[in-house]
Chain A
Amino acid sequence: MLNKAAAATLLGLGLAWSSTALAQETVKIGVILPYSGPFADAANQLQAGIDLYISKHGDEVAGKKIEIIKRDTGGPAPDVAQRMAQELVVRDGVDILAGFALTPEALGAAPIADEAQKLMVVMNAATSIVTEQSPYIVRTSVTIPQLNYAFGQWAFNEAGIKQAYTLVSDYGPGHDAESSFSKGFTEAGGEIVGSDRTPVANPDFSAYVQRVRDANPEAVYIFVPGGAQPAAIGKALADRGLAPPDTKIFAQGELTHPEALESMGENARGIITTFHYTLERDDPLNKEYVDGYHAANNGRSPDLFSIGGYDGMHLIYEALKATEGDASGDALVEAAKGMSWQSPRGPMSIDPETRDVVQTVYIREVQEVDGKLQNVIIHEIPEVKDPLHGAN
């Protein structure tokens, strides 16, 4: 068994080896995502965002060639994510860790980024605490409180709703959504008349929707993960006659993503959601992005994962330009702090203190445009920060 000194020497060798890689004019980016398993779709969409950015901006930046190495976690497994991060650092000699669709993946990899002093770009994982795990973490996606706290306030102040019922998935992100929406809503003066949590792997929503109907609230707030559940809960609501304008339906943007809208059909009309990316947002940059994405992915539309990956790559490219190709963690993090840019999602920046994303929150309503139901922006809240950082 080797003692500390020997291990430290080896570690030094490994780092020296990775800096020779740097001298070879390559910047290696290790992308850690759940490419297989139940979250494979998130990984694919995020990867498509990364690929689109590279194909648009070339694989060379600041005189360095960009090389992507993909690693699969198979799902929310922090131990696997940690091993992947470790192997990417010591074996493949990567300069930057990126990806992380799920919070447990990011939490697993954070100690490695910290110890190896590598920039870690979180392209999705949306729990507040992620960026607090290491000073080398930067996030380019969104946080759930960021979207929902402001949304709760808006629901009372602007939409004039006095009481609401919350129905969220019973897991970390759902709990975050429930508490931040409720906080914003009640602080503004609203009243939560009831709240239920649905199992994460819940195939049938009829029981919960019936409970909401019994309570007969003015509005219901919903959070479910993307995938099959948005359409399922949307239809269950419509079957019970819970639909706008009689009962307002508020939700985070996953509920009305394109596939869910198509599946829900007429039932989706009038649903109001909060999100940081809106596919239909009228903006030349966004149009170019969406057209490029459609062309590269058989007509599939980008979603929140895609934009997180796309902007994550933007951050890496711009930071490398600023450091003139110096890929050390400290230099890149310094360059990333305070960076601001125009993204297809709208204006966004990196908070220099928390290294977390600051962006516009869009409130959208499902309306008919040219005979097709889509999300139409009805309100914008600019420069929203995550309300939880520094709060605890």
Chain B
Amino acid sequence: MTSLDSANQKPHAWLARQSRWSPLEIAFWLATLLPFYFFPTYLTLASQIAITALFAISVDLILGYAGIVTLGHAMFFGLGAYAAGLLSVYGWGEPISGLLFAAAIAGLAGWLASFVIVRVQHLALIMITLGLGFLTYELANAMTWLTGGTDGLRGIRTWPIFNYFRFDLWGYTAYSYSLAALFLGFLLSRRIVNSSFGLALRGVRENVRRMPAIGSDYRRHLQKIYVISAAIAGTAGGLLAQTTNVVALDALGFQRSADVVVMLILGGTGRLYGAIVGAVIFLVARDQLAGINPQYWYFWIGLLLMFVVLVMPKGILGGLASLAARWRGRG
């Protein structure tokens, strides 16, 4: 789906067509409002799914569109969470400026890391992201005086949004807030991937060596998308800190980095919606299975992952898309 359908089309026309909204997309976003009415007792879960989906989108931007496989993206998620949390602990609990602060801190860290990231590929790239992730985790553990260490950061008080919407026990505010952030993050990402910059990124993913030959400074492109991705991941982390008022080391953990990649591949890479669908399916399945059987739920998750790979090698969305294409071809 990422290759141009036919070579004689003008790229701009293709991009314009790509950025048009389909009815299916509009229906999808309307469906995200359903939990308010049909599952009001699941709103906290919905809020955490929205946050994870935003995180997964940030990974899709680099993995799905620029080919940067990462096992350490939780470092930006966690940095954002700690940034937003610490801002509140030190007296400024206004949520929206807190999110911007979280994005800025994570983006800054992403910018620093990007100088290393763009110079390596393949296994070395994966392992360096993993190493940086672990280093950040250990650093946060070592700086217990600031982060609260293993016990977690305490004393976060997030003020009401617009000084009006208080974070309630049911999670109405939390879900509204996270969903709004997810939607804005999605809009931004959609714009990016459907721009000529997004096109250049796909070129990098498909063939790094050819990009300089057509006059594209691929390292600067990669750096740019990496910083954007880090900032979005930081925003997701900030959201988690603000909606739960807690941050602990697990926000930076390897588990989180690995899980988000699993969700993304599960949903399907390089199509933004794959990130959201993957997060929804993984987390809902996990919640339901763990509710039934808290000790062995991961057995079924494991089977689900294996099954999806064997049956739908392009992820769930990819599988659905090819099914739809076949059906349309027949009809």
Direct touch of chains A and B (CB < 8 A): yes
Using Cβ atoms and an 8 Å threshold, which residues of chain A touch B150? 76, 103-104, 171-173, 200
0/1 per residue, B128-170, Cβ < 8 Å to A?
0000000000100110100001111010000000001110111
Asked if B246 and A72 make an inter-chain contact with CB atoms under 8 angstroms apart, the answer reads no
Asked if B44 and A36 make an inter-chain contact with CB atoms under 8 angstroms apart, the answer reads no
Asked if B290 and A36 make an inter-chain contact with CB atoms under 8 angstroms apart, the answer reads yes
**A78 in the interface (beta carbon within 8 A):** yes
Asked if B168 and A11 make an inter-chain contact with CB atoms under 8 angstroms apart, the answer reads yes
| Chain B: number of interface residues, binned into ranges | 35 or more
Count chain A residues whose beta carbon lies closer than 8 angstroms to a beta carbon of B: 48
Q: Which of A4, A14, A83, A175 contacts B44 (CB 8 A)?
A: A83
Asked if A11 and B248 make an inter-chain contact with CB atoms under 8 angstroms apart, the answer reads no
Q: How far is the CA of A2 from the CA of B169 in the complex (A)?
A: 13
Asked if B246 and A89 make an inter-chain contact with CB atoms under 8 angstroms apart, the answer reads no
Using Cβ atoms and an 8 Å threshold, which residues of chain B touch A127? 151
Using Cβ atoms and an 8 Å threshold, which residues of chain A touch B42? 87, 91
Closest to B48 in A: A83
Q: Which of A10, A75, A107 contacts B40 (CB 8 A)?
A: A10
Using Cβ atoms and an 8 Å threshold, which residues of chain A touch B170? 7, 10-11, 14, 90
**B29 in the interface (beta carbon within 8 A):** no
0/1 per residue, A1-34, Cβ < 8 Å to B?
1111001101100100000000000000000010
Report the minimal beta-carbon distance from A49 to chain B, rounded to whole angstroms. Answer: 16
Report the minimal beta-carbon distance from A95 to chain B, rounded to whole angstroms. Answer: 16
**A71 in the interface (beta carbon within 8 A):** yes
Asked if B290 and A82 make an inter-chain contact with CB atoms under 8 angstroms apart, the answer reads no
**B101 in the interface (beta carbon within 8 A):** no
Q: How far is the CA of A71 from the CA of B173 in the complex (A)?
A: 24
Tell me which residues from 260 to 304 in chain B have a Cβ below 8 Å from any Cβ of chain A.
290-291, 294-298
Using Cβ atoms and an 8 Å threshold, which residues of chain B touch A89? 169
Using Cβ atoms and an 8 Å threshold, which residues of chain B touch A37? 255
Q: How far is the CA of A35 from the CA of B151 in the complex (A)?
A: 19
Asked if B41 and A90 make an inter-chain contact with CB atoms under 8 angstroms apart, the answer reads yes
Tell me which residues from 154 to 192 in chain B have a Cβ below 8 Å from any Cβ of chain A.
154, 164-166, 168-173, 176
**A170 in the interface (beta carbon within 8 A):** yes
Using Cβ atoms and an 8 Å threshold, which residues of chain B touch A172? 144, 149-151
Asked if A36 and B298 make an inter-chain contact with CB atoms under 8 angstroms apart, the answer reads yes
Given contacts A72-B290, A171-B150, A175-B149, contact A112 B244 (CB under 8 A): no
Given contacts A3-B165, A111-B245, contact A75 B255 (CB under 8 A): yes
Q: How far is the CA of A112 from the CA of B170 in the complex (A)?
A: 10
**A331 in the interface (beta carbon within 8 A):** no
**A232 in the interface (beta carbon within 8 A):** no
Using Cβ atoms and an 8 Å threshold, which residues of chain B touch A11? 168-170
Asked if B45 and A87 make an inter-chain contact with CB atoms under 8 angstroms apart, the answer reads yes
Q: How far is the CA of A40 from the CA of B45 in the complex (A)?
A: 22
Using Cβ atoms and an 8 Å threshold, which residues of chain B touch A91? 41-42
**A194 in the interface (beta carbon within 8 A):** no
Asked if B169 and A86 make an inter-chain contact with CB atoms under 8 angstroms apart, the answer reads yes
Given contacts A72-B290, A127-B151, contact A78 B246 (CB under 8 A): yes
Asked if A83 and B45 make an inter-chain contact with CB atoms under 8 angstroms apart, the answer reads yes
Report the minimal beta-carbon distance from B170 to chain A, rounded to whole angstroms. Answer: 6
Using Cβ atoms and an 8 Å threshold, which residues of chain B touch A112? 169
Given contacts A107-B152, A172-B149, contact A79 B141 (CB under 8 A): no
**A115 in the interface (beta carbon within 8 A):** yes
0/1 per residue, A163-194, Cβ < 8 Å to B?
00000001111010000000000000000000
Using Cβ atoms and an 8 Å threshold, which residues of chain A touch B164? 3
Report the minimal beta-carbon distance from A267 to chain B, rounded to whole angstroms. Answer: 29
Using Cβ atoms and an 8 Å threshold, which residues of chain B touch A171? 141, 149-150
**B249 in the interface (beta carbon within 8 A):** yes
Q: How far is the CA of A343 from the CA of B152 in the complex (A)?
A: 32
Q: Which of B48, B169, B249, B250 contacts A90 (CB 8 A)?
A: B169
Using Cβ atoms and an 8 Å threshold, which residues of chain A touch B45? 83, 87
**B71 in the interface (beta carbon within 8 A):** no
Q: Which of B41, B138, B149, B176 contacts A199 (CB 8 A)?
A: B138
Using Cβ atoms and an 8 Å threshold, which residues of chain A touch B166? 4, 7
* Among B42, B151, B250, B290, residue most surrounded by chain A Cβ atoms (within 10 Å): B151
**A77 in the interface (beta carbon within 8 A):** yes
Asked if A78 and B169 make an inter-chain contact with CB atoms under 8 angstroms apart, the answer reads no
**B240 in the interface (beta carbon within 8 A):** yes
Report the minimal beta-carbon distance from B167 to chain A, rounded to whole angstroms. Answer: 10
Q: How far is the CA of A7 from the CA of B42 in the complex (A)?
A: 14
Tell me which residues from 73 to 108 in chain A have a Cβ below 8 Å from any Cβ of chain B.
74-79, 82-83, 86-87, 89-91, 103-104, 107-108
Given contacts A40-B295, A44-B295, contact A107 B246 (CB under 8 A): yes
Using Cβ atoms and an 8 Å threshold, which residues of chain B touch A40? 295
Q: Which of A7, A82, A108, A170 contacts B168 (CB 8 A)?
A: A7
In the complex, 27 of the A-B residue pairs with CB atoms within 8 angstroms, ordered by the A residue number, are A1-B165, A2-B172, A7-B166, A7-B172, A11-B168, A35-B294, A35-B295, A36-B296, A70-B294, A71-B290, A72-B297, A75-B255, A76-B150, A76-B152, A76-B250, A78-B244, A78-B246, A78-B250, A82-B44, A83-B244, A87-B41, A87-B42, A104-B152, A107-B152, A107-B154, A108-B248, A172-B151
B contact residues vs A (CB 8 Å cutoff): 36, 40-42, 44-45, 48, 138, 141-142, 144, 149-152, 154, 164-166, 168-173, 176, 240, 244-251, 255, 290-291, 294-298
A contact residues vs B (CB 8 Å cutoff): 1-4, 7-8, 10-11, 14, 33, 35-37, 40, 44, 70-72, 74-79, 82-83, 86-87, 89-91, 103-104, 107-108, 111-112, 115-116, 127, 129, 170-173, 175, 199-200
Extra contacts, 13 of them, besides A44-B295, A107-B154 (Cβ < 8 A), are: A7-B170, A8-B168, A35-B295, A36-B297, A75-B255, A79-B244, A82-B244, A89-B169, A104-B150, A107-B152, A107-B248, A108-B152, A171-B141
